[in-house]
Amino acid sequence: MKNLESLIKTYYDFPKKGIAFKDILGIIQDTEVFKELILKMSSNSVIQRSEAIISIEARGFIFGSAISLQTSKPMLVARKPGKLPGELIQESYFLEYGKSYLSIQKEAIQKFSSYAIVDDLLATGGTIDCVANLIKKSGKEVCGSITVVELLELNGRSRLNFPVETIISI
Ligand code: AMP
């Protein structure tokens, strides 16, 4: 997509040494590019085949909620520890920089049968794999995942056994 890559800035050694952090926030400061991106993500087959979307805290929320409005597909959130009230389903995962777990509200995930996972970036694939496991644990279908960016050298898609879509690979 024209201009998209130029809006992604790399910060070296953030949030810790050895990480080349891709800052995608410049995209939402260019509304024409952002709009084009959301239309492209929304028309992707992974989104189209799903009944609902699960977006991942925090930058996944930006893209997930815009896709939800564009497609009229409901959105759920997968959140980091201590953020969600009510009865939760949890799953741990390893990040490029640390270990954590993600939670989904049990009542919310029971409402729909199939889900598309939305996030800003695919690195090792651990985060998306974690959300996919939450969906499977709940007896629901994973239609696939879609991110704005994929970091090719980490080959995160190799651990994911469903359609893995991305807008740009770098
Ligand atoms: P992973 O589980 O390794 O695929 O990491 C993906 C998640 O961590 C996404 O939610 C990203 O926002 C974040 N992330 C991991 N690595 C980076 C990176 N190099 N630059 C920006 N965000 C990253």
Report all structural domains of the chain as residue ranges with CATH numbers, in order of start. 45-169 (3.40.50.2020)
How, if at all, do strands 20-23 and 9-12 pair? Answer: antiparallel
* Cα–Cα distances in angstroms (integers) from residue 100 to residues 87, 94, 114, 136, 155, in the given order: 19, 6, 25, 19, 21
Kindly state the average pLDDT of the residues 54-76: 98
Contacts of 25 (CB under 8 A, 6+ apart): 59
User: Has residue 168 got a pLDDT over 90?
Assistant: yes
Question: What is the rounded CA–CA span in Å between residue 27 and residue 37?
Answer: 9
Atom of ligand 1 nearest to the CA of 59: 12
Task: Report yes or no: 60 and 148 within 8 Å, Cβ to Cβ.
Answer: no
Atom 17 of ligand 1: nearest residue by CA position: 21
| Span 5-52, pLDDT tens digits | 999 999 999 988 988 999 999 999 999 999 999 999 999 999 999 999
Q: How far is the CA of 41 from the centre of ligand 1 (A)?
A: 19
119 CA from centroid of ligand 1 (Å): 9
Q: What is the pLDDT of residue 49?
A: 98
pLDDT higher than threshold 90 for residue 1 = no
- What is the predicted pLDDT for the residue at 167? 98
Q: pLDDT (tens digit, 9 = 90+) per residue, 78-123?
A: 999 999 999 999 999 987 567 899 999 999 999 999 999 999 999 9
Query: What are the pLDDT digits (tens) for 132-150?
Result: 999 999 999 999 999 999 9
What is the pLDDT at residue 145? 99
Distance CA 160, CA 10 (A): 26
For ligand 1, atom 15, name the residue with the nearest CA: 123
pLDDT of residue 96: 59
**Is 141 in contact with 126 (CB distance < 8 Å)?**
no
